[in-house]
Amino acid sequence: MRYLFGFLCVCAIGLMSVVGCSETAGETVDREWGTAQRIDSDHEAGAKAQSVAIDPQGNAIAVWGQAHGMEVTGYGVWSNRFTPSRGWGTAERIEASGGGGADVAIDPQGNALAVWRRWSAWADPSDTFWANRFTPSAGWQTEERIEHNDQGGTGGPRVAMDPQGNAIAVWSQWSGTRGNVWSNRFTPSEGWGTAERTEANTEHDAWNPQVAMDPQGNAIAVWATAVTVESEDTIEMTYYRIWSNRFTPTDGWGSPEPVDEHEDNTWNPRIAMNAQGNAIAVWEHNVGRSTHIWSNRFTPSSGWGKPVRIDSPDDGGHQARSPQVALDAQGRALAVWLQGGGIWSNRCTPTGDWGTAERISDDVDSNRPQLAMNSSGDAIAGWHQGDGERNNLWASRFSRSNGWETPELIEEEEGTAYGPQVVMDPQGRAVAVWNQWDGERYRIWANWFR
């Protein structure tokens, strides 16, 4: 789920930081969740791994992988489109040869790009990356391969888009000896370019890339890369660190640089970017038996600052993970994460000062938090939460005037639900999509906050 900020599994955070909002900044408008509904195809096989994006008019596009019996590739990539006036349409397959792990981004005109990984045959370890473009006038076009490295398997792609419809896709790919981070750029006038590496590690793996863009087409990618550290007793240890690279339309990708300063493992980075080109990154830092959430702030004038810890020091046995982050037009940031079985949050000022972490869910069996935010600083967090028998989908709204509201249940199906993705438009309306078990297989469901 992406719309400018880049996002996530899911993510995605909307590009609403570049468009105006018809409501007063900070004003809380009465809205409510509708009735959840299934949006995938009627095919007998199951569906999973959804992503969703939304444009400033509240039109949304969801993509997911859906199994197709005994096909070698196992899954196809499907999509459905939502409009506020008509609701969800009919699901359609957007590729012809199989794939999964899709991500989607959208521009203010409602044009969208979906990217996905196509698995090769079981005896073939190589995967490939593909894309398709949607326009409101013509629908989905013909799928297109966006890389030509056949050496090894791949990780899930991520894509971000600017208001002009330019996009950057990033992914990890095995070179035969190590994992590398690759990217490709799309422009409406020329289509996809040539795939290129965004990092220069020649000794160790680089994985789990994320990307965000600003309205000028500048992008920042972050990922986890392995480094070898020699301890005091000369024992070499390999740790993961968070690195980044910045893309500009004039100069392309720059030189990779570190984002964190830890001497232990760091992993699972996320990044958000706003209209001024400022960015916030968050990640997990593992030390011993504890895992914490850290953050760093980027400004075009100064680059990356100094990392700071943002999770709560007093709850959850120091086990914090699965961070998500969003940024509004003024540079205010929100982060959410899982800690001690509950969902926590923290706020950051435009100058980079984080506050005190607060718990936003009372349940001790919450998981998979997701976050969406618009240009005014309104936000929605969603997560799945166990009740002793199954997982339910819950959400909470944040406003600058009222803070986090009481979480509410947004689906009432009998089967377990997991993995929500959420997006928000400039008016504060939101769309959530998730996986829902129907007793035999997972399906794709959605709800609208209006």
Q: Which residues pair with 130 in a beta bridge?
A: 116, 145
Q: Enumerate the domain spans of the chain.
A: 16-449
Say if CB 296 and CB 306 are below 8 A apart: yes
Q: What is the mean pLDDT of each run of 10 residues along the chain (450 residues)?
A: 39 37 53 97 83 98 83 76 98 88 96 90 67 98 88 80 98 86 97 95 88 98 85 66 97 96 90 97 92 97 97 76 97 96 96 96 89 97 94 96 96 94 98 95 96
Tokens standing for residue 288: 């011993």
Residue 442 CB burial class (10 angstroms; 0-12, 13-18, ≥19): buried
Strand residues in 15-99 grouped as ranges (E): 37-38, 47-54, 60-67, 75-83, 87-88, 92-93
For position 262, what pLDDT does the model report?
82
DSSP annotation string for 188-255: TTTEE---EES---SSS-EEEEEEEE-TTS-EEEEEEEEEEEE-TTS-EEEEEEEEEEEEETTTEE--
Nearest to 197 by CA among 225, 166, 227, 163: 225
pLDDT computed for residue 265 by the predictor: 92
**Neighbouring C-beta atoms of residue 388, cutoff 10 Å:** 5
- pLDDT of amino acid 118: 86
The amino acid at residue 384 is: H
Contact indicator for 324, 310 with CB cutoff of 8 Å: no
Q: Write down the pLDDT at residue 421.
A: 98
- 226 vs 218: CA distance, rounded Å: 26
Let me know: does 395 contact 43? Beta carbons within 8 Å. no
Please name which of 180, 185, 187 lies closest in space to residue 159, comparing C-alpha atoms: 185
* Residue in this structure with the two tokens 């940024």, named with its chain if needed: 327
Listed in order, strand segments (DSSP E) in 375-429 are 379-386, 391-399, 403-404, 408-409, 417-424
**Radius of gyration of the chain measured on its C-alpha atoms:** 20
Q: How many residues does this entry show for the chain?
A: 450
Q: How far apart are CA 249 and CA 210, in angstroms?
A: 18
Burial of residue 134 (number of CB atoms within 10 Å: 0-12, 13-18, 19+): buried
Which structure tokens are listed for 297? 């702030």
Within 13 Å, how many C-alpha atoms sit on residue 135's CB side? Answer: 6
pTM as predicted: 0.91
Q: Tokens standing for 382? A: 């969603």
Helix (H) or strand (E) holding 263: none
Per DSSP bridges, beta strands 408-409 and 403-404 are unpaired
CATH of 16-449, one of 3.40.50.920, 2.130.10.10, 3.40.920.10, 1.10.238.10: 2.130.10.10
